[in-house]
Structure 1
Amino acid sequence: MPVISAPHAFNESQLYVDLEPTLGRSLFLKCEGFNFAGSIKLKAASEMVETAERDGDLKPESILVESSSGNLGVALSMIAASKGYRFLCVTDSRCNLSTRLLMEALGSRVHTIAGREAKGGFLGARINYVRALCDSDDRYVWLSQYTNPSNWKAHYRKTAPEIAQHFPRLDVLFVGAGTTGTLMGCARYFRQWHRPVRIVAVDSVGSVTFGGPPGRRMIPGLGMSMPPPLLDESYVDEVIRVEETDTIRTCHRLARSGFLFGGSTGTVVSGAMRWLDDHDTRGLTAVAIAPDLGERYLDTIYQSNWLHDLYGEDILGPDETADDPWAAGPVTAFQESRPPHPPANR
């Protein structure tokens, strides 16, 4: 039984879900959301903060500042509260309401960018705001998850070895691409491993990470509106791009089996299933990394009005409707059973 005194000291790293009974393909899902920050971003946040402390960049009077679509902001909020730092998260309008409230509950300040840059989108606007803050006051310390090598080193030291320990015959690894910290850390580790592992990056349609035109992306997490500085494509064997509609349908399909995962996980699983459908998987050991859980998406991915407003009434398709146990029709409200009235006295 683990006993901890700091919230970032706990991170469940040995939980995998066998998705074959649910999705019909042999795929093991490494669940990274079971910690007090609720996502894989705890690893990168811890590594970046500890490095900044060792290098003397963080001082008692420092104010941590970071651009984040949500999950890293929560992880840094938790660590800052534990260590006594102030933290300002710069996010944008796509950040889930529950995520913003969670950061504020942990004592952080949240600044939401309303506009976007012509070339850099929301991300460019967030980064410009952070840079202006740092230029105006030297108390601000920007960890810069987009360029900080501690981002990928966290996964080189932790995530990849955890997978290698449990799957010594690993053949293919599916990793979502955001800042590409997780992707680069795992890819670098398995490039040096005792057997070849195919690294498949999963990106969102509309992201410019691996080229292609920018497009609308409403689900925070994976994808970038600017080329990620950490990315070295020579470590990536293949890229799969996933439409947000497929992300949503995969999330709901998993939820129908009791697994409530977040948007990033839905994207990775959707991409992995498409790859597995197109390949001979006999004897293949495949693992996908699930970065997040679903609670923070209850007001978006799992909320009917949000889905219908952005993606249309038929977003979930007939298959999902057929699986809905309530789809047969309205349920009559329960009425208390009472004995009949006695006959009136005459």
Structure 2
Amino acid sequence: MPVICAPEDFHVEDLYVDLRPTFDVSLYLKCEGFNFAGSIKLKAAASMIAEAEARGELTADSVIIESSSGNLGVALSMIAADKGYRFLCVTDTRCNFVTRQLMEAMGAQVHVVDEPHPTIGFLGARLDLVRELCAADDRYVWLNQHANPSNWMAHYRTTAPSIAKAFPELDVLFVGAGTTGTLMGCARYFRDQGLPVTVVAVDSVGSVTFGGPAGPRMIPGLGAGVRPQILDESYVDDVVHVPEIEAVRGVHRLAAAGFLFGGSTGTVISGAVDWLGRHRAGEPVTAVAISPDLGERYLDSLYKPGWIADVYGDQTLAPQRAEHTP
């Protein structure tokens, strides 16, 4: 029976969903949303704050500042509340309203950027504001998840070893690419351990992370308008780009089976099913995909028919409706 004093001390590491009954493919989904922050970002948040503390950067006067589309902001809000730090999250209009409420409920200040940078989008505008605030006030401590090695080290120490232990015969690992912290931590671990695992990055269409053209993206989490500094493509074996409409269809297919996951999970699963169908069809394979969070925070977007119709069109979910009609 776990008994904890700090909310960041609890995380479910060994829960997997077998997706064969839902997607008819040999694929296991590692569920990272069962902790008090509700996402895999708790690991990166705890790692980056611990490293900042070890360097002596955080004092009683410090204000932690970070650019986040939502989940890291919630995790940092939780840890800051536990440790007595002030925290400012710089996000943008794509951040779910309930996510902003969660951060504010734990005492964080949330600044919403409502105008994207003309060439590098909302992320570029958020990063510009963070740099401006840090230059004007030395109390701000910017963790900078896009460049901070403590981000990927968190997954090198925890996520990847737990997958290796659960699946010693692992063939393929699918990891969504946002800041690329999870991707880099896992890819580096399997490479360093000499394990023959094919690591496939799953990105959103419209993301520039792997050199693709920038485009509009409405689902927070995966993808980026600015290439993350911690990314080293030499550790990545392949990349799949998934249109957001397929991510929406993916999460609704899961919801029809009773599993409510977030948009990044829909992206990763859609990319994994596509890749396995093209590269491993009919072959025995052990494959794992990583699910960053659950779906409750997306009820006003991904699971709201009006929002889906406005953004992606009335027929977006027609195949799902037809497939699951008794």
Query: Which residue in the other structure is 2:290 paired with?
Result: 289
Question: What is the distance in 1 between the residues matched to 2:193 and 2:130?
Answer: 38
Q: CA deviation at 1:50?
A: 0.3
**Kept after mapping to 2: 8 A contact 1:87/1:108:** yes
Question: What is the distance in 1 between the residues matched to 2:168 and 2:21?
Answer: 23
Question: What is the distance in 2 between the residues matched to 1:132 and 1:195?
Answer: 43
Indicate the SS of the match to 1:278: helix
**Kept after mapping to 2: 8 A contact 1:175/1:183:** yes
Could you give the per-residue CA deviations for residues 14-72 of structure 1, whole angstroms, max 9, x where no partner exists?
10111111111110110000000000000000000000001000111111110000000
Q: CA deviation at 1:181?
A: 0.5
User: Structure 2 regions of 5+ residues with no counterpart?
Assistant: none
User: Structure 1 regions of 5+ residues with no counterpart?
Assistant: 326-346
Q: CA deviation at 1:253?
A: 0.1
**Kept after mapping to 2: 8 A contact 1:103/1:110:** yes
Q: CA deviation at 1:324?
A: 4.8
Give the TM-score normalised by the residue count of structure 2: 0.98
With 65-74 and 270-279 compared, the bigger mean Cα shift is at 270-279
Query: Which residue in the other structure is 1:261 paired with?
Result: 261
Q: CA deviation at 1:154?
A: 0.3
Query: Which residue in the other structure is 2:249 paired with?
Result: 249
Q: Which amino acid aligns with 2:307?
A: W
Question: What is the distance in 2 between the residues matched to 1:194 and 1:235?
Answer: 12
Question: What is the distance in 1 between the residues matched to 2:74 and 2:129?
Answer: 19
Question: What is the distance in 2 between the residues matched to 1:113 and 1:164?
Answer: 40
Query: Which residue in the other structure is 2:308 paired with?
Result: 307
Question: What is the distance in 2 between the residues matched to 1:76 and 1:321?
Answer: 41
Report % sequence identity. Answer: 65
**Kept after mapping to 2: 8 A contact 1:252/1:320:** no
Query: Which residue in the other structure is 2:223 paired with?
Result: 223
Could you give the per-residue CA deviations for residues 97-126 of structure 1, whole angstroms, max 9, x where no partner exists?
110111111111100001111222101110
**Kept after mapping to 1: 8 A contact 2:89/2:109:** yes
Query: Which residue in the other structure is 2:278 paired with?
Result: 278
Q: Which amino acid aligns with 2:303?
A: Y
Query: Which residue in the other structure is 1:84 paired with?
Result: 84
**Kept after mapping to 1: 8 A contact 2:219/2:263:** yes
Question: What is the distance in 2 between the residues matched to 1:141 and 1:46?
Answer: 15
Query: Which residue in the other structure is 1:167 paired with?
Result: 167
Indicate the SS of the match to 2:209: coil
Query: Which residue in the other structure is 2:187 paired with?
Result: 187
**Kept after mapping to 2: 8 A contact 1:91/1:111:** yes
Indicate the SS of the match to 1:104: helix
Could you give the per-residue CA deviations for residues 71-102 of structure 1, whole angstroms, max 9, x where no partner exists?
00000000000000111100000000110111
Q: Which amino acid aligns with 1:203?
A: D
Larger radius of gyration: 1
**Kept after mapping to 1: 8 A contact 2:249/2:320:** no
Indicate the SS of the match to 1:249: helix
Q: Which runs of 4+ in 1 moved over 3 A?
A: none
Q: Which amino acid aligns with 2:105?
A: A
Q: CA deviation at 1:322?
A: 4.1
